[in-house]
Structure 1
Amino acid sequence: MQKITPYLELDAEAKQLVDRVKNKTITLTPSESAVLNQLIISSGAVCTKEELLAEGWVDRVVAATSLTQCVSTLRKKLEPYPEVVLRTIAGRGYQLNVSNRSHITMLAVNDPIAVRDALIDVSLLVKVSGIVIAVMLVACLWYCCDYHGVVKNTASWNSEKTIPLNIGGIKQGVPLLYKDDVAHLHPSMWQKHLAPESNHLTQLKSYSGYAATDGNYYSMAICPDYDKKGCSGHGLINIAATDLTPAGLHMDSFAELTKTMEQRIRYNRVIIPPTELDEANFVEHNYHADIYYPVKGEMLVRSDISLSLIYEDDSSGKFYSAACVTDEGCLTTPIKYKVKGHFTQYREKIGELDVDVFQVKVTQKQLFKPDKVSSAAMPFYREIRKHEIIEEDLYFYRLYKDKETAVWIVPLLGNTVAWYKYDKVNI
């Protein structure tokens, strides 16, 4: 058998063409079979008329017109196969040319060798087109997958800088996390909100901290008793500023004021409905923080934030969060905002900092509108109202965790960093 294409062969002994796709044969005369066999053996080279006459009519002397008639008949029998062309080379002879474009769709599915050979013979254009389509398909799947959102959002943060902070008279550098497009990263963007003449905390000897900004909120998270064992969770300081005007927060009276505000009832305790617990035993990982927002000439505003995670496997589960905004004079009816959804946890890097990223698919948002809002709390009410309207995945970043505390960047009131107390509760 002489193979012409992956599915068309010449059976020289039987003097016939064998079509493997249509499962049929085409009868050839002895001369046609011999001439075609010689053209195939020549592998695309030009065969002279003398060569073909000698092969087609052995020990016989015939006129050149016999070869011409033979070639004409062969061409008609090869017409169903446009990729096989029998060419006349003027003044030289004939040449059998087989196109590299194989008709893969015509291949017999029960002929794996033919399929393999056809795939190898596919033209460069077809191969390149296939690769381009495959790349586009992979890119489309990547763009639409959840992990693409995680990578994209995490990549928008940086952690290459540290900034010096003066907290209670103690100067120390802290890691800074910031968005790519933030222009103002000078330490004064954080420091200017603390009144220098009263920036004294007699009990503070040292601290550990983080600073963050998304360009709108400038926040800092401070643990005053951090040591090698971690942070105890006592006396945590979380301050976030939304106004560029120096707030003039008096740190010497701040501690007493926050104690008073934190002794009030916590409206935002996360209560997990029993109907949502599919099994008898669950573990709730609860994180709680008080974040304070100083604004010049306004009352101090506090946001009481709680996060709860209930793992259903190693990296995903149910997510609950609640925020309650009040002011120091209780002039604002508590602004309560709850979010419920399903989280998936990823381990990523922001610069050189390893972080846990929690992508939250929100299933429910609930805003309890206040009866009255003070001018100090109004910007936060607007921010929460906007947050409630926008439909999108939420991304929470856990920067640090020990047995008692954790540091999170939370996207509920801007993207603010805060040091949270941690509790593990069996339900």
Structure 2
Amino acid sequence: MLKITPYLEFDDEAHQLHDRTCGATIGLSFSESAVLAHLLSQPDAICDKEALIAVGWPDRVVAATSLTQCISTLRKKLEPFPEIQLKTIARRGYQLHVSPKSHVTMLAVSDAGSIKDALIDVSLMVKVSGILILLGIVATLWYQSDYHQVMKHAARWASDHEINLDIGGTTRPVTLINPKGVDSLHPSMWQKHIAPESNSIQGFNNFGGFAFTDGNHYSMALCDLDERGECRRDKIVNLTAIDLTPAGLNMVEFVELSKRMEERIRYNRILIPPGEAGGDLVEHHYNGDVYFPVADELLVRADIGISLVYEQPLGGKFYSRACITDQDCLTTPIKYQIRGEFEQYRQKLGQLDVDVFHVKVRQKDLIMPDVVSASAMHFYREIRKHNIRDEELFYMRVHADNGTAVWVVPLLGSLVAWTKYEKVAL
């Protein structure tokens, strides 16, 4: 068995060519096989016609046209293999040339020797080009992967500083989360919306929390902490400023008003009777209220709910709901719901270890109100944009304890909210 190229073999005894790319066998006549064997024994040499007639038709007298016909047929059988060139040299004879560069596009994977020879036979330029193409494909797949998108999102944020906030008459440092490169991070951007003469909250003197900006809005998520450093669920304050003009929020009035608003109407809270357990699924539910003080406008509340149903260790079904109302119920509730699948990733957000939930949205439902007050018009427009635009979202859980968690939520851009946690057996 003579190997002509890394993928083409010649069996002169069986008078056959074997194509390893597809496993095909090409039959040859005795004369074709003998002529090809003679030409292969003298590669690139010019073989005269008399010698070829002698090996192709031994002990026989044939016309020169027999050799011409044999060469023509042999060329047709070798035509699928451009590396092999059977040339006619005028008035001298024939010459067989086998190119060292392979034009094969696929090898038989069962033939390790052919694969090895073909790879060795390929020029350095071809090898380098192949490696570069492979690296390009790998880089493209990595760039488009979900994990890379999560890394890019997390890399946008910094949490390397703290700012001091005076809430309820107590000043304490809170962690600041902001996009990298954003200016206007002075504490006054958060503090100026609270009227200093009425800044009092009873029993709110050991709070912890987070200040957050997406570059347009300034929000804070605060909770008074118990002796173990965990959030007291009845002492949560979430405020987001959507206007740079100081809102003049009276904290004494705000505490009472927020209680009335939450008692009056509630959409996203889940109440579980004591002792309820069991079920095939577990829903991890988070609920929080975010308030938006604006000077000379009605106080607007966003009742936010987030639910996770794990179907695998770090992935499953995702549900998010937001309901917008104002303090006088002039705005019929604006309800916005999202359903989709999530993948959970652990990432660094500056100095914070956070859980990033990459949500692929499958369904969006917007219940548009009959009436929108002037105070709520900004929220209606922003949520309407989300409803039209969002296909993928990133939610970030930046803190969690036994009964609460702090989330960065992609609502009205992005905001931070301290939420209550419930585990629901379904």
Same fold (TM over 0.5): yes
Q: Which residue of 2 aligns with 1:222?
A: 222
State the one-letter code of the partner of 1:310.
V
Q: What CA distance in whole angstroms lies between the structure 1 residues aligned with 2:386 and 2:106?
A: 57
The offset of 1:138, in angstroms, is: 2.1
Structure 1 partner of 2:232: 232
CA distance in 2, matches of 1:35, 1:335: 88
Identify if the C-alpha distance between structure 1 residues 424 and 117 changes in structure 2 by more than 3 Å, giving closer, same or farther.
Answer: same
Q: CA deviation at 1:231?
A: 1.5
- Note if contact 2:288-2:303 (Cα within 8 Å) is conserved in structure 1: yes
Equivalents in 1 of 2:359, 2:38: separation in Å? Answer: 77
Please state whether the residue corresponding to 1:376 is helix, strand or coil: helix
Change (3 A) 1:99 1:298: same
- Superposed CA deviations along residues 256-300 of structure 1, whole A, max 9, x for unmatched, are 2211211112134579xxxxxxx9622111111011101111121
Query: Which residue does 2:153 correspond to in 1?
Result: 153
Q: Secondary structure at the match of 1:223?
A: strand
Structure 2 distance, partners of 1:268, 1:29, is 84
Q: Given that residues 7 and 19 in structure 1 are in contact (C-alpha distance below 8 angstroms), is that contact kept between their aligned partners in structure 2?
A: no
How many residues are matched? 378
Preserved CA contact (<8 Å) 2:270 2:422? no
Question: What corresponds to 1:358 in structure 2?
Answer: 357
Q: 1:382 to 1:9 in 2, by over 3 A?
A: closer
Partner of 1:172: 172
- 1:219-238 Cα shifts (integer Å, max 9, x gaps): 11001125435223121010
How far residue 120 of structure 1 moved from its aligned partner, in angstroms, is 1.8
CA contact (8 A) 2:10 2:17 kept: no
- Deviation sequence 1:109-150 (CA, Å, 0-9, x none): 764313202202211221122122222322332343333332
Describe the superposition over 1:327-361 as per-residue Cα deviations: whole angstroms up to 9, x where unpaired.
Answer: 12222222222222222222222123111111222
Partner of 1:375: 374
User: CA separation in 2, counterparts of 1:421 and 1:33?
Assistant: 83
- The residue correspondences of 1:278-427 to structure 2 (distance < 5 A) are 281-427=280-426
Deviation, structure 1 residue 29? 12
Amino acid at match of 1:158: A
The SS at the match of 2:231 is coil
Classify the secondary structure of the residue corresponding to 1:370. coil
Q: Which amino acid aligns with 1:421?
A: K
Q: Give the direction of change, closer, same or farther, for the CA distance of 1:224–1:6 in structure 2 (3 Å limit).
A: same
Aligned counterpart, 2:60:
none
**CA-based RMSD:** 3.7
In the alignment, is the contact (CA less than 8 A) between 2:204 and 2:235 conserved in 1? Answer: no
Matches within 5 A, 1:115-194: 115-194=115-194
Residue 101 of structure 1 deviates from its aligned partner by: 2.2
Partners of 1:176 and 1:294 lie apart in 2 by: 20
Q: Which residue of 2 aligns with 1:245?
A: 245
Question: 3-state DSSP class of the match of 2:264?
Answer: coil
Q: Which residue of 1 aligns with 2:92?
A: none
For structure 2, list consecutive stretches of 5 or more residues without a partner in the other structure.
20-25, 45-70, 86-96, 272-277
What CA distance in whole angstroms lies between the structure 2 residues aligned with 1:227 and 1:220?
Answer: 22
Q: Deviations over 1:350-378 (max 9, x none)?
A: 12311111122222222222222221111
Change (3 A) 1:107 1:346: closer
Distance 1:100 1:222 in 2: 74
Structure 1 unaligned residues grouped into runs of 5+? 40-75, 86-96, 272-278
CA distance in 2, matches of 1:421, 1:29: 85
Distance 1:300 1:99, change over 3 A: same
Q: Read off the aligned partner of 2:297 and give its amino acid letter.
A: E
Structure 1 residues 346 and 9: alpha-carbon distance in aligned structure 2, compared to 1, 3 A threshold: closer
| Maintained 8 Å contact 2:10/2:18 | no
CA displacement at 1:397 relative to structure 2:
0.5
Cα distance between partner residues in 2 of 1:291 and 1:29: 86
Partners of 1:153 and 1:323 lie apart in 2 by: 23
Q: Which residue of 1 aligns with 2:212?
A: 212
Three-state SS of the structure 1 residue aligned to 2:234 is coil
Give the Cα separation in 2 of the matches to 1:344 and 1:159.
23
CA displacement 1:133-182 (0-9 Å, x = unmatched):
22232233234333333222222222222222222222222211112353
Q: Structure 2 vs 1, CA of residues 7 and 290 (structure 1 numbering), >3 Å: closer, same or farther?
A: closer
Give TM-score scaled by structure 2 length: 0.76
The match for 1:55 is: none
Q: Separation in 2 of the partners of 1:35 and 1:338? A: 79
Query: Per-residue deviation at 1:105?
Result: 4.2
Shift of 1:108: 6.8
Tell whether the 8 Å contact from 2:302 to 2:324 is kept in structure 1 after alignment: yes
Contact 2:283 2:308 in 1 (8 A): yes
Name the SS for the 1:317 alignment partner.
Answer: strand
Using the TM superposition, give the Cα deviation of residue 326 of structure 1 relative to its aligned residue in structure 2, in angstroms. Answer: 1.3
Contact 2:165 2:172 in 1 (8 A): yes
